Structure 1
Amino acid sequence: MSTVDKTEAQWREELTPEQYRVTREKGTEPPFSGDYNKVSTAGVFHCICCGTPLFDTSTKYESGSGWPSFWAPVAEKNVATEIDLSLGMRREEVHCRQCGAHMGHVFPDGPEPTGLRYCINSVALDFRPEGGGD
């Protein structure tokens, strides 16, 4: 259950059109187009909508999918999932638990130790490098 309660008008005012499309309308950015696909600097990726910490670069890996991929979230309590039956497929959609923002999907084809691939849209994230630098 999300705990951030804003109107659609407030979200539209705070987010760019692309951030709104992906996070509030369950869109997807084109593969290999996001700013964070190749980031390897130590730090944490936060929800672009509410700032909740979601993924750490220590769990990031190159999946070849074109989107930032992680084998685990920072904390299970920070993400929620639900079944997505759109596009004629059965997938598991990933949301920020705090605000309900759509992040991407999780698949069971990732590396150990979890075997999961959290495939996340860059535009849904705000990267904060360790130590505050770029």
Structure 2
Amino acid sequence: MRKTSKPAPLDPAAICKSSDPMAVRELLTKIGDKWTIFVILSLDLLGGRARFSELERSIPGISQRMLSTTLKNLERDGLVIRELFPEVPPRVEYEITRMGKSLLGPTQGLVDWAKEHWETVRKAQSKFDER
């Protein structure tokens, strides 16, 4: 009887072609979260700059709390800037940064891929669930 050897585990640095794969994973987790893609794409569709209420109206299903949290995270990561206008009542606008704009192409590509393959994925899920 031949013994089959287990393949060696892959090196995470080789998988993502980075000397710091954990940093890559962390950033991909952040930008791939449920709402980040919608906020980035909505800001672009709204001309690159929008008020909180405009963003909230443009993203179906997002709560005020989740939008606020997502915008804070995007601001912290340098993808969005927040500008507070000293008016009564105060007005706040969010603007996509140059780095945030550089994310638009890959993000839209991912959205396009999802639209193109959703039906196939749904069928595969149904077939799997039937087993």
- TM-score, L = length of structure 2: 0.33
**RCO higher in 1 or 2 (8 Å CA, sep ≥ 6)?**
1
- TM-score, L = length of structure 1: 0.32
- Structure with the greater alpha carbon radius of gyration: 2
**Higher helix proportion, which one?**
2
**Higher strand proportion, which one?**
1
